[in-house]
Structure 1
């Protein structure tokens, strides 16, 4: 399926699509040293959130999809060299307001979960700026 959204995203920071189908996506991210928050190798949570957000956008896959809100939980720490897989499922695919459930795994362990509220706008949010 053709990816219709976020065409200029830096996939080295937000993940590489593995599966993109109507209403769902799977995105892979390898955590690199530039994501490190401290000397222990802990990855900053913003990169994990970015991965989950990108997976949610791909599950909706509309050119003008935007994030309105998110409820999320970081369940386990992530380290440099970890490979993360985000799985997103649009639970309301026929509506203008999309609720997208996202889970991020490291190996078989759930490290993040979130519900992303996304809207598809009639025009790009920056169209009148």
Structure 2
């Protein structure tokens, strides 16, 4: 598993890569207390979105991949203690533009589904900044 992107990401917040292959990836995240939005243990959706985004980036796996847009749906709540699995699969690839479908599940139930539009830029987006 050779990872070429997002090498400094905090995997405790965005998930740990389980597999990375050309056009696909799988990421695992255990929801922890610091992700809770309230006293009930409801996990803030930003962590789930971040996990799905990371899975999309890994499926492209290029140092200059960036997110351009996303359509997403939260289907079921997640809570502290849940173990989430994000599976990303490339739907389209024209060399520069990649469309990635990501489903996040918990115990076999899909809790999040999204389509991510990613671009591979010629140089890092912060080059020259």
| Structure 2 CA distance for aligned equivalents of residues 21 and 29 of structure 1 | 19
Instruction: Write the deviation string for residues 86-115 of structure 1: whole angstroms up to 9, x where unpaired.
Output: 000011235210000000000100000000
Question: Which residue does the alignment assign to 1:105?
Answer: 105
Contact 1:91/1:99 (CA < 8 Å) preserved in 2? yes
Q: Please give the root-mean-square deviation of Cα atoms over the aligned residues, in Å.
A: 0.7
Q: 2:9 aligns to what SS in structure 1?
A: coil
Gapped runs of 5+ residues in structure 1? none
Gapped runs of 5+ residues in structure 2? none
Q: 2:92 aligns to what SS in structure 1?
A: coil
1:46-125 matches, cutoff 5 A: 46-125=46-125
Question: Which residue does the alignment assign to 1:33?
Answer: 33
TM-score scaled by length of structure 1: 0.98
Q: Which runs of 4+ in 1 moved over 6 A?
A: none
| Structure 2 CA distance for aligned equivalents of residues 94 and 82 of structure 1 | 36
| Structure 1 CA distance for aligned equivalents of residues 100 and 108 of structure 2 | 21
